Amino acid sequence: MPSWKSGSHLGVKLVTVSPNNYKYNLPSIQGLYILFDAAKGTPLMLLDAQELTARRTASSSALASTFLSRRDSETLLMVGTGTLAPYLIEAHATVRRYKKILIWGRNRDKAQAICDTLNTKMDVQITRVENLEKGIKQADVVSCATLSATPLILGAWLKPGQHIDLVGAYKPDMREADDALMLKSKIYVDTPMALKETGDLLIPMTKGILDSNDIRGDLFQLCQNTRKGREKKEEITVFKSVGHALEDLVAAKMVYDTHC
C-alpha cells in the first residue's frame, strides 16, 4: 500500500492479514511501514504496521462520526473484541460525550478483559453485554470490527437516529451488516474503492439491491464540505471503511514530525 506527496514524503506498508491467528494468540494484522523522504529517497523511519493501521483506522471512524453521528449521542456499542476494539472505543470517545459504552463479543472473556483495561483509563463506565440485539437497541453509535463472513448487525434491530460504523468485512465475500440495514441508511465510505472491496456493499450491489448512486459520499468529500453528512436527527447513517494508503502516510508523517 504505497502513498506519496510529491517533494515531501512517501511511504509503503507491507502487511499480512491472517484471520486464524487467534489460534496462536497472535494479531490478525502484522507488518511494517517504511517512511521515506520523497525528494531524496532516504528511508526516515520504520513503524509497526499493526499499530499504525489500528490507530489510523480508528481515527478515520471517529472523524466520520463527527459528520454522521448525532451530537447528543450518549451510548456507544463496540461489536468485536479484536485488535481494533480498544482503539475504536478510545477514538470515538474523543468526538462524543458518551455516558455509557458497551462491548459485545463472541468471546466473553476477551470482551470483559477490554472492559477491565479501559475502565482504568477512561472516565466513562464500560460494560460487557451478552445479547447483541439488546445492545444495538440501546446504542446511539455502533462500531463493528470483526472478521465475520455473515451479517451480525440487522436492519430490523435499528432505531431512528443511529450511526453505524462498519470497519470489518475487508473482503468481497465478507459482511457485517444485512441488506435491510443498508436499505434504511444513508451510506458513506472512506474511499470509493469500498464499492469493490467489501461484501457489505458489493454483495447487495451484485443482487441489485443497491447501486453506486446509493453512496452519499466519501470521507474526503465530507471533510471538504462538498457532500452533506447527517441532516436530520432521526435518519440512520452508515460509514463503511476499507482503509486508504493516504491515511497511513498522514499518520506516519505525524509521528515523524512529532518525535524525530
Q: Are residues 136 and 220 in the same domain?
A: yes
Geometric angle at alpha carbon 149, from 96 and 185, rounded to 5°: 45
3-state helix, strand, coil in the chain (%, to 5): 35, 25, 40
Cα separation values, 207 from 61, 200, 203, 204, 210, Å: 27, 12, 6, 5, 8
pLDDT for position 196: 86
Q: Of 182, 190, 173, 237, which is closest to residue 209 (Cα–Cα)?
A: 182
Q: Are residues 80 and 44 in the same domain?
A: no
Q: Are residues 236 and 251 in the same domain?
A: no
Q: Of 20, 6, 87, 79, which is closest to residue 53 (Cα–Cα)?
A: 87
Q: Are residues 200 and 96 in the same domain?
A: yes
Q: Are residues 164 and 143 in the same domain?
A: yes
Q: With cut-offs at 50, 70 and 90, classify the pLDDT of residue 27.
A: confident
Q: Are residues 198 and 101 in the same domain?
A: yes
Grid cell 432521526 is found at 234
* Mean pLDDT over the full length of the chain: 94
Q: Are residues 86 and 37 in the same domain?
A: no
Over 80: is that where the pLDDT of 1 sits?
no
Contact 129, 101 (CB under 8 A): no
Provide mean pLDDT across the span 9-22. 90
Q: Are residues 177 and 127 in the same domain?
A: yes
Over 80: is that where the pLDDT of 186 sits?
yes
Q: What is the dihedral of CA 154, 157, 163, 168, to 10 degrees?
A: -30
Task: Provide the grid cell at 90.
Answer: 478510545
Distance CA(249)–CA(78), nearest Å, equals 27
Predicted confidence (pLDDT) per residue in 201-258, tens digit: 999 999 999 998 999 999 999 999 999 999 999 999 999 999 889 999 999 999 999 9
Q: Are residues 7 and 92 in the same domain?
A: no
Partner residues linked to 166 by β-bridges: 144, 240
pLDDT for position 71: 96
Distance CA(146)–CA(62), nearest Å, equals 17
Range of the domain at 214: 53-244
Q: Are residues 211 and 254 in the same domain?
A: no
Provide mean pLDDT across the span 171-190. 94
Residue 77 three-state SS? strand
Predicted confidence (pLDDT) per residue in 130-143, tens digit: 999 999 999 999 99
Going 66 to 67 to 71 to 77, the CA torsion angle's sign is negative
Q: Are residues 151 and 230 in the same domain?
A: yes
Distance CA(31)–CA(21), nearest Å, equals 14
Domain with residue 187: its CATH number is: 3.40.50.720
Distance CA(125)–CA(99), nearest Å, equals 7
Q: Tell me the pairing of strands 237-240 and 9-17.
A: unpaired
Report how many domains make up the chain. Answer: 2
With both helix axes pointing from N to C terminus, report the angle between 49-68 and 84-92 in degrees, rounded to the nearest 10. 40
Predicted confidence (pLDDT) per residue in 109-157, tens digit: 999 999 999 999 999 999 999 999 999 999 999 999 998 899 999 999 9
Q: Are residues 39 and 64 in the same domain?
A: no
Contact 241, 61 (CB under 8 A): yes
